[in-house]
Structure 1
Amino acid sequence: MLQSSEIPSCFYPKQPALISPKCPTTKHTLYLSNLDDQKFLRFSIKYLYLYKKSVSLESLKSALSRVLVDYYPLAGRLRISSEDNEKLEVDCNGEGAVFAEGFMDLTVEEFLKVSTKPNRSWRKFLYRVDSQSFLDIPPLVIQVTNLRCGGMILCTAINHCLADGIGTSQFLHAWAHLTNKPNADVLVTPFHSRHVLCPRTPPKITFPHPEFTNSTTSHNGPTLLDPTQQTLVPISLIFTPSQILHLKKLCIPSLKCTCFEALASHVWRTWIRSLAPPPSLKIKLLFSVNVRKRLKPELPQGYYGNGFVLGCAETTVKELITSNMRHGVKLVQEAKESVTDDYVRSMVDLLEERRVKPDLLATLVISQWSKLGLEDLDFGEGRPLHMGPLASEIYCLFLPVIGDFEGINVLMSVPESIADKFEVYMKEFPEREEHEGV
């Protein structure tokens, strides 16, 4: 019986294999857009899925080999461009994805008891590739861990430079589909070319792009969320549909909003209340905005590269805390509305001229995973009993709630010193907003 949240060691009966595309694929160099190879995306998106019953390893590997025919860049290798040492590209050489098979003395029920918050020991669920740098790690690494009870944990690491959340979901559903129907075709044909997001010649930067601009004035207070200076702990809180509806009603009648806008505003406000920085400090909320249908023309169907930019809401601590709920929601809405075709093109051109990184000082970053359909990933033995990230990061994730399509699980790491306060504030909902006129 598992006595703590610490996961036991993983046993590997054999060395991991390289799974190559089932048949020869085009050998070429894949250009990555400026949205793809941003420096803050140079990591892998790591998902963890828990299944009650194991799926045949051979069927998983066979389907993976088949799906890599369509998604062949994931079987390639990242490298630095010979023309620009600041840019990355993909050598589509068919070398293959890493597939590791493991066994753990653990049951599904034992994992579920400790699954509310990721912890460091979960890293045992993903094979660690020996590497000297980020470039040495294959774009796709998979580990299937069979459990003592006959269950299975599937862990995937997909390089963020090749795909965003929507793209990773598209690939994973294609893999699951071919596992269930080996002779079928992929449901959506992936679109590989990233040249649809090429910079203009000459570049035209027509917007200020506050997501990259450090506008924070110096102050004598504590550094806001500097991971090197603080002990962070994961916080996981589930918001039911009724709770989210209550947040939305706080903005009625003067403002209609989405579930994301209401919850994002609430989390941002709560985070700032808990940290209690100086009232005059300028603060930001960054969140991913899908641009696939915002561009003219729209990105092609099946585009699985990075098709998002960061929306940026900004204000001061005092304005966010003392104003009503509608203030934060309106800032989020205005940030979303500003992401037009011209704005995205301007950002691509900015990244061509300068390899800027997002301003993360006094900034909360939210990434929405709750509407990607990842909780429905079925390889033939049912949907997952748990789905989430392998680790809790400093940025905030909106995750799906298994069995509740409208619920949202908010997961983020906060300084240990404010964790209790943050949880209390997150669950504090006023009956009505007292402040009007914002």
Structure 2
Amino acid sequence: MGSLVHVKEATIVTPCEPTPSRVLSLSALDSQLFLRFTIEYLLVYEGHPGLDQRATVARVKAALGKALVPYYPFAGRVRAKPDGSGLEVVCRAQGVWFVEASSDHSVNEFGRAPRFVTQWRKFLSFQVADVLKGAPPLVVQLTWLKDGNAALGVGITHCLCDGIGSAEFLNSFAELASTSQTKFSEFKFKPKPVWDRHLLNPAPCKPSRNNNNNNNHSLSHPEFNRVPDLCGFQARFSNERLVPTSFIFNKTSLNELKKVAFSTSRLSEANYTSFEVLSAHIWRSWGRALNLPSNQILKLLFSINVRERVKPSLPSGYYGNAFVLGCAQTSVKDLTEKGLGYATMLVKRAKERVDGEFVKSVVESVSQGRASPDSVGVLILSQWSRLGLEKVDFGMGRPVQVGPVCCDRYCLLLPVFNQTDAVKATVAVPTSAYPRYEHLVRSFCS
């Protein structure tokens, strides 16, 4: 049984001022096949049980209409280009969905892992199954909880923006909702949204230096390479029930992981970040818990922001997809036996590979070869803890919980309320792997 959520009203909100009527091209990175889904955030607010609900809904809807003026592509519709070369947005101020709902859930239920993957599905009632079939790219749902608190579900089509871009939008939207009426019309967006998608397209009239185009990207980009499925990996994740997990790592536990990584590393490579050791620890725990054949290749894919890695750097306020996938890859045997330091070193090296030339070659691969990451042996990890989602305040205070609408097989690193040095890691694992994963992720052994 899912959440009991009752939709009170669903309306289309359009920009509150005239916006340009045009067709905008999305970049080669935006148009990637694996980005044709919706980023779904769930923000939970506590501490305002006496809030005037009607006034709050009016403020949020007004703020949404105002935010859609500079972010007018969110009120458009995404479609494939007629020549099949990528995606574009038809901007005619068509509008976005705003939903008001009520629920029988209370705020304290969101602090632990959901009982099943889709438990909170109805906190974003309108799902966009296919972004190219004319649905609004943005859906916002404000749900009132039974204790008078609130949850905000937000769905944003990933091909229009990345995590950083969507968080910038949400923070401006929220700031507008908490701005007084006298200052509302003079509100300045910081940063000012920038489209400029052409900056992440392949250079014109520059053919690849290699004629053997079919396999070339595989050699330099393991994230796009296919590996053999030696153990029914895909079937297992498709057929076996997945169990959501949630673990908080505070500063002390992150320092403990660094010590373990240091003790199993070559000294010259032991200067590791919290992200590197934590992602390696989760990857190892996941890989070991699945009990796979020793020669099965496993990959950890994680997003790397390239705004400052390309030359010239992208302008402040660029909200399109400006990331590439880092890829750490090894066998089950090596991941299991060589210790945390080895896995952390693989993550660190995957990050260091990404420079301006690397980004150019990714752009070429995805635009010419339609390259896309495989799912065999892959754990995808995304760092939401650094996006600024924990600051999104609609006049109800900062969210006490930040996470996805559905806990899935992808691992998310999330912020923890009032603990700036802590990270919550959520991922759903097959039922048969759950007990061992829980044990391994809690034990900081080498």
> 2 CA distance for matches of 1:119 and 1:361?
21
Distance change (3 Å), C-alpha of 1:279 and 1:312:
same
Distance 1:129 1:419 in 2: 28
Specify which of 3, 25, 41 is matched with residue 7 of structure 1. Answer: 3
| 5+ residue gaps, structure 2 | 211-216
Deviations 1:18-38, CA, capped at 9 Å, x for gaps: 111111111111111111111
TM-score, normalised relative to structure 1: 0.91
Q: Report the Cα distance in structure 2 between the residues aligned to 1:340 and 1:205, rounded to whole angstroms.
A: 19
Matched pairs, number: 421
CA distance in 1, matches of 2:341, 2:129: 48
Displacement of 1:134 in angstroms is 4.8
Cα pair 1:366 1:397 within 8 Å, conserved: yes
The runs of 5 or more residues in structure 1 that have no matched partner are: 434-438
The one-letter amino acid of 2:173's match is W
Partners of 2:357 and 2:111 lie apart in 1 by 48
In the TM superposition, residue 63 of structure 1 has moved relative to its aligned partner by 0.8
| CA shift for structure 1 position 83 | 2.2
- Give a deviation string over 1:89-134, Cα, whole Å, max 9, x none: 111111111101112233334x346665664231111122687765
Which amino acid in the other structure matches residue 29 of structure 1?
Answer: V
Choose the corresponding residue for 1:202, options 206, 216, 230: 206
Deviates more, 1:318-327 or 1:296-305: 318-327
2:193 alignment partner in structure 1: 190
Counterpart in 2 of 1:260?
275
What is the CA–CA distance in structure 2 between the aligned matches of 1:153 and 1:353, rounded to whole Å? 42
Letter matched to residue 199 of structure 1:
P
Counterpart of 1:236 (choices 229, 237, 246) is: 246
Cα distance in 1, alignment partners of residues 261 and 292 from structure 2: 26
Residues 300-315 of structure 1: matches in 2 within 5 Å?
300-315=315-330
Give the one of 373, 381, 398 matched to 2:413. 398
Equivalent-residue separation in structure 2 for 1:257 and 1:158 (angstroms)? 33
Tell me the residue number matched to 2:237.
227
Q: Note the C-alpha offset of 1:395.
A: 1.1
Q: 1:225 to 1:323 in 2, by over 3 A?
A: farther
What amino acid does structure 2 have at the position aligned with 1:229? N
Q: Measure, in 1, the Cα distance between the counterparts of 2:209 and 2:321.
A: 20
Which of 23, 26, 44 aligns to 1:32? It is: 26
Letter in 1 for 2:428: S
Report the Cα distance in structure 1 between the residues aligned to 2:397 and 2:262, rounded to whole angstroms. 40
**Residues 134 and 233 of structure 1, relative CA distance in 2, 3 Å threshold:** farther
Q: 2:255 aligns with which of 230, 245, 248?
A: 245
Q: SS where residue 244 of structure 2 aligns?
A: strand
Alpha-carbon distance, 1:230 to partner = 2.1
Distance 1:257 1:385, change over 3 A: same
Is the 2:284–2:343 Cα contact (8 Å) retained in structure 1? yes
Q: 1:178 is paired with a residue of what secondary structure?
A: helix
> Secondary structure of 1:297's match?
coil
Q: AA paired with 1:31? A: S
Picking from 18, 21, 27, the partner of 2:15 is 21
Runs of 4+ displaced beyond 6 Å: 130-133
Please say which of residues 67-76 and 347-356 is displaced more in the overlay: 347-356
CA offset at residue 276 of structure 1? 2.1
Corresponding residue for residue 47 of structure 1? 41
Deviates most, 188-197 or 221-230: 221-230
Alignment of 1:329-340 (within 5 A): 329-340=344-355
TM-score using structure 2 length? 0.89
SS in 2 for 1:370: helix
Alpha-carbon distance in structure 2 between the residues aligned to 1:205 and 1:360? 29
CA contact (8 A) 2:119 2:406 kept: no
Kept after mapping to 2: 8 A contact 1:286/1:364: yes
Aligned counterpart, 1:426: 441
**Which residue identity is paired with 2:19?**
T
Q: In 2 relative to 1, CA 38–259 (structure 1 residues): closer, same or farther, beyond 3 Å?
A: same
Which structure has more helix as a fraction of its residues? 2
The answer to whether the aligner puts 1:282 opposite 2:297 as a matched pair is yes
